[in-house]
């Protein structure tokens, strides 16, 4: 099983990030020195994937453009001898090959993934939700690619969440067959509080078979009147089986301001150049609260 393509739906409005996301797609908001989408694409690259299919809308072309060359800018940086910046800009453009398809109306994550069906010729492919990004060595999508290859089965990423948060996620229940690997027995999109014992929440990482498109096309609107990916996966799972894999590492939800600001601080502190001055500045700010 070779996973070479990822579908990345980026057509959402980003209402949680308003007004910052009014004119700039939420995927382009910076976390320290890179836009959110770059962290997500880098996670795909770490999993061996170099073809990205963006599912966009008419306001999101800037997301595709980001991964293209910028010849004028490169020439300017070269002339001015700004080699570090030049390298960073060239690296982004060399990272992946980009394709895109429009989601012409917002009808849910399942519908968004379904829009990309004609771009997928492979038996298996990945899907990543751009709000979630996972940091840590060998963490994230690469774990799903490994599990799907090992068990020859589709796999989705999960993390434990507290009982009072299960109505915010697609939730799965399953039987553990190896450490952190579950054979899924139940899946529900955003169940009401208290209706499911499991704490395993879907965190926007999937390795799926191309047959899933048939299930998506048949899928009736579910929660919120939207075509839910979770509902199509549940139908597939009941007939053919599916794995859930506990993600290692740390997950940031870029649409949540606490996570967003924590991620900016985390990546700032990881940078040797600004670590010490940032620590001093943060300590001074913290004293005021």
Out of 27, 43, 51, 132, the only residue in the binding site for ligand G1P (CB under 6 A) is 132
Q: Does 230 bind ligand G1P (CB under 6 A)?
A: yes
- In sequence order, the 6+-apart residues with CB closer than 8 A to the CB of 176 are 182
Is residue 219 within the footprint of ligand G1P (CB under 6 A)?
A: no
The nearest distance, CB 128 to ligand G1P, in angstroms, is: 10
Distance (Å, whole) CA 256 – CA 259 = 5
Stretch touching ligand G1P by CB under 6 A, among 40-48, 126-134, 142-150, 280-288: 126-134
What span, in angstroms and rounded, lies between the C-alpha atoms of 167 and 146? 29
Binding to ligand G1P, residues 164-193 (CB under 6 A): 169-170, 189
Among the residue ranges 35-43, 113-121, 127-135, 281-289, the one whose residues contact ligand G1P (CB under 6 A) = 127-135
Please tell me whether residue 109 binds ligand G1P under the rule CB under 6 A.
yes
203 near ligand G1P (CB under 6 A):
yes
Short-list 187, 184, 189, CA closest to 167? 189
- Indicate the residue among 86 and 215 with the shorter CB distance to ligand G1P: 215
Q: Closest CB to ligand G1P among 130 and 268? A: 130
* 178 beta partners: 181
φ and ψ at residue 250, rounded to 5 degrees: -120, 135
Cβ at position 242, least distance to ligand G1P in Å: 13
Smallest separation (angstroms) from ligand G1P to the CB of 259: 11
Residue 118's CB: how many other CB atoms inside 10 A?
Answer: 9
CA distance 122 to 225: 30
Span from 48-56, 87-95, 197-205, 281-289 in contact with ligand G1P (CB under 6 A): 197-205
Stretch that binds ligand G1P, among 49-57, 89-97, 112-120, 125-133 (CB under 6 A): 125-133
Nearer Cβ to ligand G1P, position 86 or 187?
187
Closest distance of CB 213 from ligand G1P, Å = 17
247 binds ligand G1P per the rule CB under 6 A: no
Ranked by CB distance to ligand G1P, the top (closest) residue is: 170
Alpha-carbon span 4 to 48, nearest angstrom = 7
Among 120, 129, 147, 181, binds ligand G1P (CB under 6 A): 129
In the complex, least distance from residue 162 CB atom to ligand G1P, rounded to whole angstroms: 14
Q: Which of 35, 114, 130, 204 binds ligand G1P (CB under 6 A)?
A: 204
Q: Which residues bind ligand G1P (CB under 6 A)?
A: 109, 129, 131-132, 169-170, 189, 201-204, 229-230
């Amino acid at each position: 099983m070779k996973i070479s393509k990822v579908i990345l739906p980026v057509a959402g409005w980003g209402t949680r990030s308003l007004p910052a996301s009014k004119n700039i797609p939420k995927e382009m908001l910076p976390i320290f020195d890179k836009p959110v989408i770059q962290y997500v694409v880098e996670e795909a690259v770490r999993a061996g994937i170099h073809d990205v299919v963006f599912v966009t809308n008419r306001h999101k072309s800037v997301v595709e453009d980001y991964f293209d060359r910028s010849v004028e800018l490169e020439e300017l940086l070269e002339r001015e001898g700004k080699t570090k910046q030049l390298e960073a800009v060239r690296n982004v453009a060399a990272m992946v090959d980009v394709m895109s398809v429009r989601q012409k109306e917002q009808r849910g994550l399942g519908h968004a993934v379904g829009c990309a069906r004609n771009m997928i010729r492979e038996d298996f492919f990945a899907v990543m939700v751009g709000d979630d990004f996972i940091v840590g060595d060998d963490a994230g999508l690469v774990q799903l690619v490994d599990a799907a290859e090992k068990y020859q089965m589709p796999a989705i990423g999960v993390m434990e969440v507290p009982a009072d948060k299960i109505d915010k996620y697609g939730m799965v229940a399953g039987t553990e067959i190896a450490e952190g690997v579950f054979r899924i027995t139940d899946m529900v999109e955003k169940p009401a509080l208290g209706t499911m014992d499991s704490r395993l929440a879907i965190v926007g990482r999937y390795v799926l078979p191309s047959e899933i498109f048939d299930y998506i096309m048949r899928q009736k609107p579910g929660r919120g009147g939207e075509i839910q990916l979770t509902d199509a996966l549940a139908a597939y799972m009941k007939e053919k089986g599916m794995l859930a894999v506990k993600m290692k590492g740390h997950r940031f939800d870029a649409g949540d301001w606490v996570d967003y600001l924590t991620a900016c601080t985390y990546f700032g502190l990881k940078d040797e150049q600004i670590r010490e001055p940032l620590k001093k500045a943060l300590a001074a700010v913290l004293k005021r609260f």
